[in-house]
Amino acid sequence: MRYLMGGALAIVLSYAVLFCAGPAASDAWVEEDRIVESVGALALLAASVSFLLILIRGRREKRFGLFKQMVLVGLVLLFFFGAGEEISWGQRYLGLATPAELKRIDAQQEFNVHNLKQLSGWLDSDRLFQMFWILFGVALPVAVALSKRARAFFDRLTPLLPLWVAVLLVFNQAVAWLADAINQAQPSWYEGRYYSFNGGRIEVTESIISALLAAGSYALHRNMGTRNQAQLPTSSSANDI
């Protein structure tokens, strides 16, 4: 319950900044390489590290079969890639110029992949990210919370985030929609200049999602040592997959 209350309060306050802060503070909140984006990038990196630690411990204790180990490797790489992409692989920190060819095909003319003009429709990075957090962060935790059979099946295949992560992800989306409605009713409340309200709100939403996924992965790693061994697949059954 403390995770839910604390997380819900942090989510509400994150959106409230958009309406309560002046122009300079609003821009500092959502501008590239500033507070919100940096938190999002660090959260993705933290998730990558957490899944790596889970993989290392699981292999050492022979808890996971080959398939689940491969899924964990994929998650480590995916979150690491996301962290690098979020800050354009440190391009602005290092003062690196975008290569001419990449500048021509990148919508933001930055050193990253997710803004390539070719990635549209179902390959759009925002759409793919949304599909990922809905499936991995909401659908799976809810499914295994409702069905012991589903938990027994999916626990052999993939790490399962805590249910409170799913609840907070849904709450975050609801607050994002509420923020959009408030902005439509009171457009003068948002005074940012760097982004439109929609751009700033999306930055906040995505960073909160990243932070929740990181918190869930950390909780998984922390709880590995306290879970009852009887609830885990045995090494023999795990190796069947």
At 215, list the tokens: 């918190």
pLDDT tens for residues 192-229?
999 999 999 999 999 999 999 999 999 999 988 665 44
Higher pLDDT, 147 or 104: 147
What's this model's pTM, rounded to 2 decimal places? 0.85
Which pLDDT value is given to residue 111? Answer: 59
Phi, psi of 28 (to 5 degrees): -65, -30
Token output for 231: 């609830």
Write the burial class of residue 198 (CB in 10 Å: 0-12 exposed, 13-18 middle, 19+ buried): exposed
Residue 116, SS3 per DSSP: strand
Considering only residues 112 and 141, tell me which one the structure prediction assigns the higher pLDDT. Answer: 141
pLDDT at residue 231 tops 80: no
Mean per-residue pLDDT for 57-75?
94
Backbone φ and ψ for 21, nearest 5 degrees, come out as: -85, 155
